[in-house]
Structures are given as structure tokens and as C-alpha cells.
Amino acid sequence: MQTHNHVHENTKRVRAAILTISDTRTLDTDVSGEHICSLLKAEAHTVTYREITKDDPIEIEAAVRRMVDEKMDVILTTGGTGITKRDVTIETIRPLLDREMVGFGELFRHVSFTDDIGPAAMLSRALAGRIGDTIIFSMPGSRGAVDLAMTRLILPELSHIVWEATR
């Protein structure tokens, strides 16, 4: 399979929103959200919003819809992707998607399995897709999972994915 190199599409700087989904984190204790912010800024992307919301479907949906309405290029969520009763991120975000990027979750679990946590990777329900012209990635809440997703999967293709979503 041959890949097409979209060099000019990969240079777009994106407007990003970071949404941490947690009943316990604050901006001071949110190491995963802060790490996402630092990684985006290191790539010269703009972080427009950084918020924390409870593991509550109504609050999560309201925050995501507000960020989409504000024309964010990408929303990066962290937290609430596990299998506990309080993990409702996926059930809340999936119905909002116009298109799901199933490859993200598949690749995230594969890389997590082979390079990081082994069979515990099956507990992850990482998700990505498009809502209108906005891309959304939902990652687990741990800093290690965020680092893996951002550095190995999201950042290398972020500008290209945003370009594809808006053409």
C-alpha cells in the first residue's frame, strides 16, 4: 500500500480545546491535561480552552457541543474511557460523531499492548472521530496513556487530520 504525502496539509497550526473528564482532578492536579497542553504548544498549536468536567454525560456533552460551536479544530479529552460505571465518556461522545475514526482506538490499543502495558490495553476504549468540522480524540486519563496517544498517534498526523475534516 502506497501512502500519499500531504506535506502542505501537515503544516496547519490548529486551535485546540482540552477537556479533562474526572470527578477528582482540578487544574492544579490535572497532569494529563497539562501534558496535552505542553505537547500542543511545543508544536506551535494554539490551546484555546482547557477545562475539567465531572464524569457526567450531560456536562460532558454540553462542554463538547460548546467547543464545537466555538469552531475548535480539535478537542482532546482525557479520562472516562475505562470500564467502570463512572466511565461515560465514550457513551456520551460516540452518538455525537458524524464519522468515527476506528483506526485510532485500534492503533492506540495495539501500541499500548506492544510498547507499554501488555494485555491491560484491552481495558481501553479510546475513541476518535469528527463532529462537523471538529476532530475529537478521547484518551484515557493516565499521563502515560496521554503521552503515548499524543506522541505516537495524534501529533504526527494532527494537521493532516484537521485538513481532511474540513475539505
3-state secondary structure 12-25: CCCEEEEEEECCCC
CATH H-level, domain 12-166: superfamily: MoaB/Mog-like domain (3.40.980.10)
Report d(CA 114, CA 93) in Å as an integer. Answer: 27
Residue 161 pLDDT greater than 90, yes or no: yes
Residue 101 pLDDT greater than 60, yes or no: yes
DSSP 84: S
Residue 150 pLDDT greater than 80, yes or no: yes
Output the CA angle 124-89-60, nearest 5 degrees.
155
pLDDT digits (tens, 9 = 90+) for 33-78: 999 999 999 999 999 999 999 999 999 999 999 999 999 999 999 9
Would you state the pLDDT for residue 9?
55
Give the percent of the chain with pLDDT over 70.
93
Per-residue pLDDT band for 6 (boundaries 50, 70, 90) equals low
